[in-house]
Structure 1
Amino acid sequence: MRSRWTVVGVVLVMVVPVLELALLIEVGKRIGTWWTLAIVVGTGVLGGTLLAAEGYGVFRKAKKEVNEGRIPKNQIIDGLLVVIGAVLLVTPGLITDTVGLILLFPLTRLPVRSAVKRWIQQYIYIDI
């Protein structure tokens, strides 16, 4: 099982940067270098801003769950996804920016959270 995930990880680490670079070059050709740079820098700033806002919201919801005597399962996963999304937004590239935005907005994060919960239940055997 681990070897499959190791292969997937290695492929992602090798392929995603190449795709990012190719996409940045193509976008730069079409809209210009400065606009492309503005998008990359802007999404980095947006990532930091959204991390603060969404992170606080997730923390507030988790605190409410704990105060009501429940384990904040969804909020733990949401918190992890928000951090990953912000890191992806700060990472230069349009593909990582897109995935980062998907992870930061609650409406688009919901299906990802559901998939993570299914994965946890299937492979880690924890009821979440």
Structure 2
Amino acid sequence: MWLFALFVAVPILEIALFIQVGGWLGLWPTLAIVIATAALGTYLVRRQGLAELARIQGSLSNLSDPTRPLAHGAMILASGLLLLTPGFFTDALGFALLVPGVRDAIMGYVRKRIRVQSFTMGQPPHSADPQGDPRPLDPRDDVVEGEYVEMPRRDGPSGWTERR
């Protein structure tokens, strides 16, 4: 129910703000502000998004916890969506999400309400067989035996790519 109220309240608020700002500044300055905030927001989202992507890649390559960069990346994406939506209220929310301190505060608020039960990265060094005997992994266990037939070489496209 609260989501429905949000989808009704935000457009009404945006329309009211457009009327107020348009009456105060006029039509063309109001449209210029909307276009300028979308352009500036696109630039900032792209810049911060690429930086956060580098942090995600770094944390994954170092096998460190990627939670913070992933959460910040998701909030930057949400910021981009809000900034591309025309309106003053959504622009204010979008620009607020571009501030790392605001993102950290939101992440802290969400972290208090979410409990992670388990987290693993990669494959464990030992596996257990169905009888419960833990043994080191043997690379030969991945071998699949089979037979092959050498096909004669054809000039031209293969049967998969030729057009008929």
How much does 1:92 deviate? Answer: 0.5
Tell me the equivalent position of 1:17. Answer: 11
How much does 1:68 deviate? Answer: 1.6
Larger Rg: 2
How much does 1:117 deviate? Answer: 2.4
Distance in 2, matches of 1:116 and 1:83, equals 17
Q: TM-score, normalised by structure 2?
A: 0.67
- Structure that is richer in helix per residue: 1
- Matches for 1:1-128 after TM superposition, within 5 Å: 7-119=1-113, 121=114, 125-126=115-116
Aligned residues of 1:81 and 1:103 also touching (Cα < 8 A): yes
Q: What is the aligned-residue RMSD (CA, Å)? A: 1.6
Structure 1 ranges of 4+ moved more than 6 A: none
Gaps of 5+ in 2: 120-164
- The percentage of counterpart residues that share the same residue type is 31
Gaps of 5+ in 1: 1-6
How many pairs align?
118
Q: Deviations over 1:82-103 (max 9, x none)?
A: 0000110000110000000011
Amino acid at match of 1:17: P
